[in-house]
């Protein structure tokens, strides 16, 4: 989920620069998501700050993991992370939320395929 600095940058882009699009772009085999899926106990240093943001997506993927491989759980968590991040942008940014409501800005979700270079919109 984006922190206030990232949200502020997005708000500046949509409000002052007129950007009509915010894209939340995940990618396959994400190292950050893999770290969150594999995390055991407390992490040290600043890595815990980004793991905390990813854990809701990981928890959701793990809750639905019955019969799935570790790799499938990682990919599902990456997908959920994109969706939750997009929702969080709209929830935590009154500027983006208002411009979306007015139809002036769209927040789109997508995933980048590292092998093919293809971007798939959700």
| Cβ-defined contacts of 58-63 (< 8 Å, 24+) | 58/33, 61/37, 62/37
Which pair of tokens denotes residue 53? Answer: 């943001």
Residue in the block written with tokens 């992490």: 43
- For the chain, the domain total comes to 1
User: The domain that contains 37 carries what CATH number?
Assistant: 3.40.1050.10
Domain that holds residue 69: 4-121
pLDDT at 54: 93
Which residue in 42, 87, 37, 35 sits closest to 59, CA to CA? 37
pLDDT at 46: 82
Q: Record the pTM.
A: 0.90
Burial 97-120 (b: 16+ CB within 10 A, else e): eebbeeeebebebbbeeeeeeeee
Per-residue confidence of the chain (122 residues) as pLDDT tens digits? 788 999 999 999 999 999 999 999 999 999 999 999 998 877 777 888 888 889 999 999 999 989 999 999 999 999 999 999 999 999 999 999 999 999 999 999 999 999 999 999 99
Alpha-carbon distances, residue 48 vs 19, 78, 80, 112 (angstroms): 32, 17, 19, 25
Which pair of tokens denotes residue 110? Answer: 């997508």
Side by side, the strands of the sheet bearing 119-121 are: 21-27, 106-112, 119-121
């Amino acid at each position: 989920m984006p922190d206030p600095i990232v949200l502020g940058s997005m708000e500046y882009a949509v409000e002052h620069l007129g950007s009509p699009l915010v894209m939340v772009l995940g990618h396959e085999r994400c190292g950050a998501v893999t770290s969150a899926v594999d995390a055991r106990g407390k992490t040290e240093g600043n890595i815990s700050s980004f793991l905390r943001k990813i854990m809701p997506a990981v928890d959701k993927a793990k809750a639905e993991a019955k019969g799935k491989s570790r790799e499938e759980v990682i990919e599902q968590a990456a997908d959920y992370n994109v969706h939750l991040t997009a929702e969080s942008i709209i929830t935590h940014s009154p500027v983006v939320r208002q411009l979306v409501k007015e139809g002036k800005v769209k927040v789109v979700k997508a995933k980048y395929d590292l092998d093919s270079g293809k971007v798939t919109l959700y």
